[in-house]
Amino acid sequence: MTNRGWSFRPLNNNADIKAQTCDPKKIPMFFVGGIFGKEKDGYPLGSSVNNLTNCSTPFFVYDEPLDVEGNPEDLTLAEHVQNAAKEIQQKMAGSALPYILVGYSYGGILVAEIARLLAAQGHDCRVYIIDEPALACVKKYFAADNKDYENDLLSVVNSAAYSAGMDQITASPASILPQMTHLEAEQQAIFKKQRLDFFVDAVLSEQSKPSSPDDEYDFFSSLKTAKRNLHNIEEAKVPAEYKPEEKLSCAHVIFADKTLQKYNLDKQPASKFVGEWDLCSHKVIPLQDARLAKMDHLEILQEKNVGIAAELITTSIQDEISPDYLFNRHNQKTREDYLITRQDYEKTQTSKRKPYFSLFQNKKPHPESQKAESNEHLDRNKSKPTMQRTPH
C-alpha cells in the first residue's frame, strides 16, 4: 500500500515498445479506466486485445498513484493530463509510432485531453472513447438539477462498497439526502458538493464493514480519487468554442444507448447526438454494434461482453493505419533526427573552429626551427669580414 510510482503499468509481457514497426498490431495501446483510477478496469479489455492480436500489442493500463493513506495526488485536471502525457512520452521513447489512447468512462475525458496536449506537440494521436461524453457535455449534465446525477453518485459509492465486500445501498437517493428546498442558493450549492459524502455515510451506517485492512484501504482510496476527479470536472475550464488547432483530429466513440439518452439534455435527434464530441473534434467515427448499444454503462467492459469493444477498436486501428504509413513515418522521423544531429554537430564544430585570420596571429615557432634559425644567424655573422677603424 505504498506509492506505486509509474501510473501506466504493462499488462502483458510484451511491453517493449519498438522504435520501428510496420505491423499495426504492434503499436502500443494506453488505457485509462473509470472514476476510481484502478488498473483492474483495463484487465478485461487488455486480455481481449491480446487474444485478437496474439499478444503482439503492448498494452498499458492506468493505475492512480496513491500514498500510504490512500490519498491520490492533489492535482487539477490540467496537471493530471500533463503528468500522464509526460509518462506516455517517456514510455514511447521518441518512437515515430502513433499514440493509441483508449478511455472508458471518466478515462475518456482524460485521454481526450492528453491527446490534445500531445497533438499540439506534433504527435499522431488516435483516440478511442468508450461510453463517455465530451467534457463540456458532462459539465452541463453535472450542473443540471436532475435525479440521474444523484443516482450516478450512489452508483459510484455502491461500486466501491461492492469491491470492498460491503453491503450496497438499496434505498433511493431521495430517502438518503436531506431536503434542501428551504435552503438558500449558496447553501444549496454547498450541499450539492456534499452529496457523495452523504452516500458514503449511508454505506458506513450499514452493519457490514470492510472485511480486511486492504478492503478498507481500497474503499476509501477509491472514493477519495472519485471525489477529486468529479471536482476536477466541475472546475475545469472549457472554451465556448474550440479553435481548429485545439480540436482532436478524430474521435472514435463507442456508446450504449442509455448513456446517450441520459446526456442528451438538449434533446437532439438520437441519430445525430454523439456526446458532443463533434464540438471538440474535426471528425467523429462511431464504432457501432447492436449488442453493445443495448447494454448499460457497466456491462460494456464486463469479461463476457468486452470482446465486442476490443474487436471494434483493433479492427479500426488495422483499417486506418497501414504498414506503408508506419514505414514512411519512421523514415521521416529518421531524417528529422539526422538533420537535428547534424545541425548540433556543426554548431559544436563552429564553436571550436578559430577564425581564419587568427591562424596567422601570435603563432609560436617550433623549438627546432628556432634553434636552426639561431645557428644560421651565427654562421652568417662569422662569414662577414670584420671592419677595422683607422685612426685619423
Domain assignment present for 374: no
- 49 touches 310 (CB < 8 A): yes
State the Rg of the chain over Cα: 33
Percent of the chain surpassing pLDDT 70:
80
Residue 261 is part of which domain span?
Answer: 8-144+240-330
Range 174-194 average pLDDT: 68
Range 356-363 average pLDDT: 52
- 224 touches 71 (CB < 8 A): yes
pLDDT band at 113 (very low <50, low <70, confident <90, very high): very high
Domain assignment present for 22: yes
CATH number at residue 315: 3.40.50.1820
| pTM metric for this prediction | 0.82
Contacts of residue 165, Cβ cutoff 8 Å, sequence gap at least 6:
208, 210, 211, 215
Domain assignment present for 106: yes
Q: Which pLDDT belongs to residue 308?
A: 95
pLDDT digits (tens, 9 = 90+) for 259-296: 999 999 888 888 889 999 999 999 999 998 999 888 99
Range 126-130 average pLDDT: 97
Range 42-60 average pLDDT: 92
Which residue would you say has higher pLDDT here, 334 or 251? Answer: 251
Domain assignment present for 115: yes
Residue 253: what are its φ and ψ, rounded to 5°?
-125, 140
- Per the structure, the count of domains in the chain is 1
pLDDT band at 201 (very low <50, low <70, confident <90, very high): confident
**Residue labelled with grid coordinates 564553436:** 351
Domain assignment present for 149: no
Pairing mode, strands 59-62 and 8-10: antiparallel
pLDDT band at 134 (very low <50, low <70, confident <90, very high): very high
Question: In terms of Cα–Cα distance, which of 74, 73, 141, 71 is closest to 106?
Answer: 141
pLDDT band at 343 (very low <50, low <70, confident <90, very high): confident
What is the distance between the alpha carbons of residues 324 and 316, in angstroms, rounded to a whole number? 16
Domain assignment present for 167: no
Range 335-362 average pLDDT: 65
What is the distance between the alpha carbons of residues 24 and 331, in angstroms, rounded to a whole number? 16
- 99 touches 123 (CB < 8 A): yes
Q: Which amino acid, residue 306?
A: V
Hey, what's the cell of 158? 455502491
Q: Which amino acid, residue 14?
A: N
Domain assignment present for 335: no
Low-confidence winner among 31-35, 69-73, 141-145 (lowest mean pLDDT): 141-145
Q: Which pLDDT belongs to residue 211?
A: 76
pLDDT band at 382 (very low <50, low <70, confident <90, very high): low
Domain assignment present for 338: no
SS (H, E, C) the chain: CCCCCCCEEECCCCCCCCCCCCCHHHCCEEEECCCCCCHHHHHHHHHHHHHHHCCCCCEEEECCCECCCCCECCCCHHHHHHHHHHHHHHHHCCCCCCEEEEEECHHHHHHHHHHHHHHHCCCCEEEEEECCCCHHHHHHHHHCCCHHHHHHHHHHHHHHHHHCCCCCCCCCHHHHCCCCCCCCHHHHHHHHHCHHHHHHHHHHCCCCCCCCHHHHHHHHHHHHHHHHHHHHHHHCCCCCCCCHHHCECCEEEECCHHHHHHHCCCCCCCCCCCCCHHHCECCEEECCCHHHHCCCCCCCCCCCCHHHHHHHHHHHHHHHCCHHHHHHHHHHHHHHHHHHHHHHHHHHHHHHCCCHHHHHCCCCCCHHHHHHHHHHHHHHHHHCCCCCCCCC
Contacts of residue 296, Cβ cutoff 8 Å, sequence gap at least 6:
256, 258
Q: Which pLDDT belongs to residue 2?
A: 40
- 253 touches 284 (CB < 8 A): yes
Q: Which pLDDT belongs to residue 1?
A: 37
For residue 150, pLDDT beyond 60: yes
Q: Which pLDDT belongs to residue 189?
A: 64
